Chains A and B, each alone.
Chain A
Amino acid sequence: ILNVEQSPQSLHVQEGDSTNFTCSFPSSNFYALHWYRWETAKSPEALFVMTLNGDEKKKGRISATLNTKEGYSYLYIKGSQPEDSATYLCGRGFTGGGNKLTFGTGTQLKVEL
Chain B
Amino acid sequence: IAGITQAPTSQILAAGRRMTLRCTQDMRHNAMYWYRQDLGLGLRLIHYSNTAGTTGKGEVPDGYSVSRANTDDFPLTLASAVPSQTSVYFCASSDSKQARFDEQFFGPGTRLTVL
Contacts and interface: CB of A to CB of B under 8 A. Distances in A.
A104 B102 CA distance: 18
Interface in A36-71: 36, 42-46, 49, 51
Interface residues of B, number: 27
A34 B105 CA distance: 12
Given A99-B50, A105-B42, A31 B106 contact: no
Contacts of B31: 98-99
B90 A105 contact: no
Nearest to A6: B42
A32 B100 CA distance: 9
Interface residues of A, number: 23
A43 B108 contact: yes
B96 interface: yes
A45 B103 CA distance: 9
B90 A43 contact: yes
Nearest to A93: B101
A21 interface: no
Interface string B46-85: 0010100000101100000000000000000000000000
A98 B56 contact: yes
Interface string B7-35: 00000000000000000000000010101
